[in-house]
Chains A and B, each alone.
Chain A
Amino acid sequence: MRNRMIRIASTLTAAAVMALSMTVLVAQAPAGKAKPQASNAQAPSGPKALPKTTTDTEAAIKAAAEAFKKEEALKTYTVPKTPWGDPDLRGVWNTATYTRLQRPQELGNKAFYTEEEAIAEYKKAAESDAEVDPRTVHYDWKEYAMDAWQGGTRPNLRTSLIVDPENGRLPPLVPEAQQRRAAAAAAARELDPMLGVKTFGNLYTRCVLGLGALPLVRGGMPGADSAATAAGVTAEAFFFQSPGYFTIVMQSNNDVRIIPTDNRPHVAPQVREWLGDSTGHWEGNTLVVETTNFNSKEPATNFLGSTDQLKIVERFTRIGPNTMRYQYTVSDPKTWTRPWSVDTTMPRVDPSLIYEFACHEQNYGLINVVTGTQIRFREGVRDLRGNGAPE
């Protein structure tokens, strides 16, 4: 089933506190000196008295559908301006979605659902998201608001995030990318990369990067391209604006993207960063951000296995009080035969707060995952996960 073990193991330490605080602590009176370090023990199991709305799938689906219809109905929306005159995109925006990155093959060139179909699809995904497989989790993780439907995701008329190519699918890989992928899979069959931190390709489990800072929306469950891109958990992006800058703080790992809006040139080509170098400018009410200068350090790779030639151009347009249109175009001549593009939306969520996500500070998830893999290795068990490719 859904492999959320790794994600949960490394997230719970810090994120359970965060996620809980989003839904519970904030909803209550000020909690004062809550002592989260007590949660260094494993996450609690069993039922817990929580506000009904946090576990009521039906209510959440209804609310999501209503919010979707309400914002869809807005034909003329005038985006407010900041005091210094830029379009005002501030707030916390939800990056989780149930819409798949790639369109299911059977839908062919059907790019849009009807409204009824979209809501039905959302309902199906949310209900499946609310299921708990006792083989992978030993607690009811709905309690921790880790399902996307609890975070404010909405139905989407689109059948895939990808709008170009027309079939809603990723373009073919170039030959060198096929070879790269095959080599990584072969190496993983030989020796599980999770046997040592040195070979551990998953940057999220290592707390090097959080989930989805760039691009922000990557396609949802079910059918996500990997467990780590399917995040419903901590899927909030805080957009902060000040004169000349647009800064994004991710709830996940508190990754920060500082985007100057003066269209300045990129940093020198030898400067390489995990989140790349972003530079932006306004085109009318749309903020356009181009990011290059990505790292490519083995064994970790960039978005969807791309290289340091990755370039992402994002477009942010606020099309409703609670809806941000988010488009991006991805290119990497060393990975795909052509650029491809996504067009989606992000709902605004309240309260407009981001909490500290001290991931590396108590990353015992990583200790446990690597230790467990080494024990399996000594016991002669291989390929526990059914695949070995680093994410």
Chain B
Amino acid sequence: MRIGWTSFWAFLAAIAVVSVATITSEGQAPPAGRGQAAAPQAAPARQAPAQPRPAAAAQGARTEDGKPNLNGIWQAINTANWDIEAHNAEAGPHNDIMGAWGSEPGGMGIVEGGTIPYKPEALKKKQDNFKNRMLVKVTNDPHRFDTGDPELQCFRPGVPRANYMPFPFQIFQNRDQILMVYEYKGSMRTVFMDKHQEAPVDSWMGWSNGRWEGDTLVIDVTGFNGHQWLDRAGNFFSDTAHVVERWTPKGRDHMMYEATIEDPAVYTRPWKISFPIYRRLEANAQLLEFNCVPFVEEMMYTPLGLYNPPNRSSR
């Protein structure tokens, strides 16, 4: 029940950001000089309240090797994390106490063509997923991954979901590698640009190899462990999924994102999602910690009797 509103706040904040961003997108501070002279170690202003910060270095449109410069903090503004297909606004799962805070916004969806081409048995599993989206199984065996939205339990979101969660993420780019860090759970992925590397093990975030096709960053993601959900509605893929992402800058402050999802075990054909991603333009934009492990411990361990210490009298 905490889940809904945490994300919802972030979502509201994101909306606020966009409205500000559209007004001030040309009012950017000039890039800071790099390698500036050694600054005094204990500058008096360190504890001062947030003040306009110099924009991160190198916010130019191109990197030193002529590629599009994607360095920065970004965020998608949509409701795909609730459901990547078109959906109505709905009361949330605990609207008896959560009211409008826990309610879910409607959305147009991000699936090209509107519908995910599930195989019949996979569609059944998607529907079961939705019914059981808040069923949390904490066990010592792999059944714990059978049901329940991984996001509810503070598990890694996988790709592409990480890119449209209602949290910002930061791209760090150099010639050889691109590092993407997501505020949600501090999840990260390394995109290998220099040489293609096969996934050595399966994982939640997958294994990413990238290349430039003109000004589009194309990332090939494989090596999923099959526990990922695409949203809170139960859409999913399996460990045979192959995701190809295309990140195309459309200006300094936004890009188009597209992902093709192929998984013969789940879908009848490859299908595609697409949406824009916007730069966070606040002068003091910075990823903060969203370490959600402590936020889910009570929910996960209370049913096992492991959250609260036993009473002395129960000995």
Residues of A within 8 A of B (CB): 17-18, 21, 25-26, 30-37, 40, 82-86, 90, 191, 195-199, 206-209, 240-245, 247, 249, 254-256, 258, 260-269, 271, 273-275, 279, 281-284, 288, 290, 292, 297, 313, 353-356, 358, 360-362, 364, 366-368, 370-371, 374, 377-378, 380
From B65, B142, B177, A83 is in contact (CB under 8 Å) with B65
Question: Which residues of the partner chain A approach B314 to less than 8 Å between Cβ atoms?
Answer: 378
Query: Nearest chain B CB to A353's CB is how many angstroms away?
Result: 8
Question: Which residues of the partner chain B approach A366 to less than 8 Å between Cβ atoms?
Answer: 301, 306
Extra pairs beyond A242-B173, A265-B53 (19, CB < 8 Å)? A18-B201, A21-B200, A36-B202, A82-B174, A191-B309, A195-B310, A198-B298, A242-B179, A243-B34, A254-B187, A254-B188, A258-B181, A260-B56, A265-B48, A267-B50, A275-B289, A279-B46, A282-B36, A354-B190
From B34, B38, B49, B155, A85 is in contact (CB under 8 Å) with B34
A73→B47 CA distance, assembly (Å): 43
B308 an interface residue at 8 Å Cβ cutoff?
yes
Query: Nearest chain B CB to A200's CB is how many angstroms away?
Result: 9
Q: What are the interface flags for B46-76 relative to A under an 8 Å C-beta threshold, 1 for contact and 0 otherwise?
A: 1111110110111000011100000100000
User: Are B203 and A356 within 8 A (Cβ)?
Assistant: yes
Residue of chain B at shortest CB distance from A196:
B309
Residue of chain A at shortest CB distance from B143:
A40
A36→B190 CA distance, assembly (Å): 20
Could you list 24 examples of A-B contacts with CB < 8 Å? A18-B201, A21-B200, A25-B201, A31-B198, A34-B200, A36-B202, A83-B64, A86-B35, A242-B71, A243-B56, A245-B56, A247-B172, A265-B45, A267-B288, A281-B36, A281-B39, A354-B190, A364-B139, A366-B301, A367-B304, A367-B306, A371-B306, A374-B310, A377-B315
A40→B143 CA distance, assembly (Å): 10
User: Are B179 and A240 within 8 A (Cβ)?
Assistant: yes
Q: What are the interface flags for B282-315 relative to A under an 8 Å C-beta threshold, 1 for contact and 0 otherwise?
A: 0000111101011001100100111111101011
Residues of B within 8 A of A (CB): 32, 34-36, 38-39, 41, 43, 45-51, 53-54, 56-58, 63-65, 71, 138-142, 144, 150, 154-156, 170, 172-175, 177, 179, 181, 186-188, 190, 197-205, 223, 225-227, 239, 286-289, 291, 293-294, 297-298, 301, 304-310, 312, 314-315
User: Are B200 and A31 within 8 A (Cβ)?
Assistant: yes
Query: Nearest chain B CB to A150's CB is how many angstroms away?
Result: 18
User: Are A84 and B179 within 8 A (Cβ)?
Assistant: no
Question: Which residues of the partner chain A approach B175 to less than 8 Å between Cβ atoms?
Answer: 83
User: Are B140 and A364 within 8 A (Cβ)?
Assistant: yes
A17→B286 CA distance, assembly (Å): 33
Residue of chain A at shortest CB distance from B189:
A356
User: Are B41 and A290 within 8 A (Cβ)?
Assistant: yes
Known: A281-B38, A367-B138. A361 touches B156 (CB 8 A): yes
User: Are A36 and B310 within 8 A (Cβ)?
Assistant: no
User: Are B306 and A374 within 8 A (Cβ)?
Assistant: yes
Residue of chain B at shortest CB distance from A378:
B315
A237→B139 CA distance, assembly (Å): 31
Residue of chain B at shortest CB distance from A275:
B289
User: Are A360 and B155 within 8 A (Cβ)?
Assistant: yes
Question: Which residues of the partner chain A approach B154 to less than 8 Å between Cβ atoms?
Answer: 360
Question: Which residues of the partner chain A approach B225 to less than 8 Å between Cβ atoms?
Answer: 36-37
User: Are A32 and B53 within 8 A (Cβ)?
Assistant: no
Question: Which residues of the partner chain B approach A199 to less than 8 Å between Cβ atoms?
Answer: 309
A242→B241 CA distance, assembly (Å): 31
A21→B32 CA distance, assembly (Å): 41
Question: Which residues of the partner chain A approach B63 to less than 8 Å between Cβ atoms?
Answer: 243
Known: A197-B306, A367-B138. A262 touches B32 (CB 8 A): yes
User: Are A360 and B293 within 8 A (Cβ)?
Assistant: yes
Q: What 9 A-B pairs have minimum CB-CB distances, sorted nearest first?
A: A244-B57, A243-B58, A196-B309, A30-B198, A195-B309, A356-B203, A242-B172, A244-B56, A283-B38
From A26, A208, A284, B200 is in contact (CB under 8 Å) with A26
User: Are A268 and B49 within 8 A (Cβ)?
Assistant: yes
User: Are A269 and B47 within 8 A (Cβ)?
Assistant: yes
Query: Nearest chain A CB to B72's CB is how many angstroms away?
Result: 10
From B43, B205, B301, A263 is in contact (CB under 8 Å) with B43
Question: Which residues of the partner chain A approach B64 to less than 8 Å between Cβ atoms?
Answer: 83-84
Residue of chain A at shortest CB distance from B291:
A274
A82→B51 CA distance, assembly (Å): 30
Known: A206-B297, A208-B291. A355 touches B306 (CB 8 A): no
Known: A31-B198, A242-B71. A361 touches B315 (CB 8 A): no
A274→B294 CA distance, assembly (Å): 11
From A40, A207, A247, A271, B142 is in contact (CB under 8 Å) with A40
Residue of chain A at shortest CB distance from B187:
A254
A273→B181 CA distance, assembly (Å): 16
Known: A17-B201, A245-B172. A198 touches B291 (CB 8 A): no
User: Are A271 and B288 within 8 A (Cβ)?
Assistant: yes
Residue of chain B at shortest CB distance from A18:
B201
Residue of chain B at shortest CB distance from A255:
B186
Query: Nearest chain A CB to B98's CB is how many angstroms away?
Result: 23
Question: Which residues of the partner chain B approach A290 to less than 8 Å between Cβ atoms?
Answer: 41, 46
Known: A196-B308, A380-B315. A244 touches B39 (CB 8 A): no
From B140, B287, B294, B305, A258 is in contact (CB under 8 Å) with B287
Question: Which residues of the partner chain B approach A191 to less than 8 Å between Cβ atoms?
Answer: 309, 312
Residue of chain A at shortest CB distance from B182:
A256
Query: Nearest chain B CB to A333's CB is how many angstroms away?
Result: 15
A33→B308 CA distance, assembly (Å): 40
Known: A40-B142, A273-B288, A371-B306. A34 touches B181 (CB 8 A): no
A171→B173 CA distance, assembly (Å): 42
Known: A243-B57, A358-B155. A206 touches B172 (CB 8 A): no
Interface centre among B48, B173, B294 (most CB of A within 10 A): B294
A268→B284 CA distance, assembly (Å): 11
Query: Nearest chain B CB to A186's CB is how many angstroms away?
Result: 16
From A288, A361, A368, B204 is in contact (CB under 8 Å) with A361
Residue of chain A at shortest CB distance from B223:
A33
Question: Which residues of the partner chain A approach B305 to less than 8 Å between Cβ atoms?
Answer: 374
A283→B35 CA distance, assembly (Å): 8
User: Are A37 and B54 within 8 A (Cβ)?
Assistant: no
A313→B239 CA distance, assembly (Å): 43
